[in-house]
């Protein structure tokens, strides 16, 4: 087990088309998702179509669950983006 993880966002699970094209984010989708996490006090960054999650190694399971619930909420917006794409 590790604290080195990525969530890869796609338009469609079947085709695996990335939510944003390589090296670009013309509609600011990833920026928006990271901004929504920031509003909830969840600080991290993205790269391409991925949200990176790599908390300090001292984090507890309770803290993980509390924080990941915020990601769950924000991913509903990502789902909407994927549906519209």
Partner 1 sequence: MSGESIKYNHCTYNLQSWSKQKGLDPIPIEKTDGIYMWDYDGNRYTDMSSQLVNLNVGHGNRAIIDAIKEQAEKYCYLSPSYGSEPRGELAKMIIELMPDNMGKVFFTNGGADANENAVKIARMFTGRQKVFSRYRSYHGSTYGAGNLTGEPRRYPLEPGAPGFVKFFDPYIYRDNLPFKTEKEASEYYVAKLREQVIYEGADNVAAIVMETITGSNGVIIPPDGYLQGVRSICDEFGIMMICDEVMAGFGRTGKMFAFENFGVKPDIVTFAKGITCGYVQLGGVVVSKDIAAYFDDHLLSCGLTYSGHPLACAAGVACLNFYKDTNILDNVNRSGAALAECLDTLKEKHSSVGDVRCIGLFFCNRACM
Closest CB to partner 1 among residues 27, 76: 76
One of 20, 21, 23, 26 touching partner 1 (CB under 8 A): 23
Q: Give residues 39-58 in contact with partner 1 (rule: CB under 8 A).
A: 41-45, 47-48, 50, 52-58
Greatest alpha-carbon pair distance for the chain in Å reads: 39
Quick one: how far is CA 9 from the chain centroid? 7
CB of 24 to partner 1, least distance (A): 9
Burial of 29 (0-12, 13-18, 19+ CB in 10 A): buried
Q: What does DSSP assign to residue 18?
A: B
Distance CA 34, CA 3 (A): 19
73 binds partner 1 (CB under 8 A): no
Query: Which residues bind to partner 1, rule: CB under 8 A?
Result: 1-11, 13, 16, 19, 23, 38, 41-45, 47-48, 50, 52-61, 63-65, 67-68, 71-72, 75-76, 78-79, 81-83
């Amino acid at each position: 087990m590790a604290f080195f993880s990525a969530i890869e966002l796609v338009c469609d699970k079947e085709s695996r088309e990335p939510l944003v094209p390589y090296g670009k984010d013309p509609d600011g989708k990833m920026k928006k998702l990271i901004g929504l996490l920031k509003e909830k006090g969840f600080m991290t960054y993205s790269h391409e179509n991925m949200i990176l999650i790599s908390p300090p190694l001292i984090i507890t399971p309770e803290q993980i669950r509390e924080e990941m619930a915020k990601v769950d909420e924000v991913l509903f917006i990502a789902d909407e983006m994927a549906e519209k794409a």
